[in-house]
Structures are given as structure tokens and as C-alpha cells.
Structure 1
């Protein structure tokens, strides 16, 4: 096809993309993944940490298991005592809270 090897080398070199062109799709995928997945997830985690840190006595809380109760006592940095019924108190790990309602805040209604 080519008469000399020099022409063959020039044809192959012209077809290969540069290193930037070959990594550009990978870089774009990482940037899109960061904006669509990692950034919103880290924002949600930060909001959850703040919510759990600000739990105080008298707040109504909802746990991941579905229990709804009133905080009777904040035992330490990791544990709460929650009254789920009159005279029934349970110990709850703070990280399992999914929602904290203030004292007078009504329940959210879905439309």
C-alpha cells in the first residue's frame, strides 16, 4: 500500500489522538458524576449532621425504623431517650433519626 515505511509511520501518527483528547471523555464523566451524585449527597449528609446535632429535649423525632416520639433526655453525643407512648421510653441512636420536628411544628402533609 505505501511505498516506504516513512509514509506508513506518518499515516499512523496522524490517526492517533493526543493524550488530552483521549482523557477528555473520562474527565467529563467524572465532572458530571460529581455534580449529579457526590455534591448533592454530601449536602444531604451535612444537613443530617446539623439536624442531629441540634436535637434538644421536647423535640418530636422520627427514627429510621418509623418510631415517632418526644425527646425526653439527650444522654450523650450519640444517644437519646425518646418517649413513644405515655410511660414508654426507648433509647435511640442519634444517627438513626430521619426527621426532627420542633415543639410546636405540625406534621408534614403530602399532597
Structure 2
């Protein structure tokens, strides 16, 4: 009722019915399906973010794990903090490297950023490693 009074004031007696009909027609037009298209847009954005952010990171992690599993005694490596050394021994999660004459450092495998050069020697068997360790301790005395 209030709308008709306002329309009457704005448009006069002749335009009151036309304006009222226009308002009713505008209210009767249903809104287009904006909810579904909005959801589809956000779904596409989420998929795009996953492809651009997470897949390259997974590939990089996989390459790093492969590099760590291929490490062997004699490889020259660089750590994430920039220390360069040669692998002396490898245990489950720790690696002992030689950085200079008689300077040895124990580091974790995750601290290795890359391999600078591979050793030419094949990987030593556990018996050879024990023999070399015993010889080194006798030389240190």
C-alpha cells in the first residue's frame, strides 16, 4: 500500500498503475542460478591452486628422497647451511662427513641439500666398513 502511495506522489495518478505493475513484474522475475556457477568458479580455483602449488612440491620431495637414498661413502655433498664435505659413514638418519683434515661432523640426512660429485668407488660392504673403522682408530692412537 505504501508503494502505491509513493508511486502516486512520484508519477501522478496516470503513472501510478504503470509504476506499480513495473515493480510487481521486477519482483516476479526469478534470479538466475548464480549459486551453482559461483560454486563451480571456486571449485576451479581450488583445483588450479592444488595443481600449481602442491604437485611441484611433491615432485621436489620425491627427487630429494631419491637423492638421499642413493648417497654412499665417498660422495661430496653440500648441506643446507652451506657446509661442503665428503661422506665418511652413513647410518640410518645420520651421516658423518669430513670437511677438512681430521675434522668430522655428524649431520642428519635431511640437512643435505645436494650432491656435488659422486664417488667412483662402489659402495662398501658392512664388513669393509668395520675393518676401515678399526684401522682408523688404530691410526689415531
Shorter-chain TM band:
0.7 to 0.9
Per chain length, whose mean CA-contact separation is higher, i.e. which structure has more relative contact order (CA < 8 Å, sep 6+)? Answer: 1
Q: Residue 46 of structure 1: CA displacement?
A: 0.7
Note the residue ranges of structure 1 that are not aligned, 5 or more in a row: 105-111
Pick the structure with more helix per residue: 2
Q: Give TM-score, length-normalised by structure 2.
A: 0.63
Tell me if the contact between 2:73 and 2:119 (Cα under 8 Å) persists in the aligned partners.
no
Report the number of matched residues: 100
Q: Give TM-score, length-normalised by structure 1.
A: 0.78
3-state SS, counterpart of residue 15 of structure 1: coil
Question: What do residues 10-67 of structure 1 show as CA deviations (whole Å, max 9, x unaligned)?
Answer: 42x3334142x11122111112112211100110011111111221101111001100
3-state SS, counterpart of residue 92 of structure 2: coil
Q: Separation in 1 of the partners of 2:101 and 2:110?
A: 24
Which 4+ residue blocks in structure 1 deviate beyond 3 angstroms? 1-7
Considering only CA atoms, is the larger Rg found in Structure 1 or Structure 2?
2
**What's 1:46 paired with?**
62
RMSD (Å) for aligned C-alpha atoms: 2.0
**What's 1:24 paired with?**
40
3-state SS, counterpart of residue 30 of structure 1: helix
Matched, 1:72 2:98: no
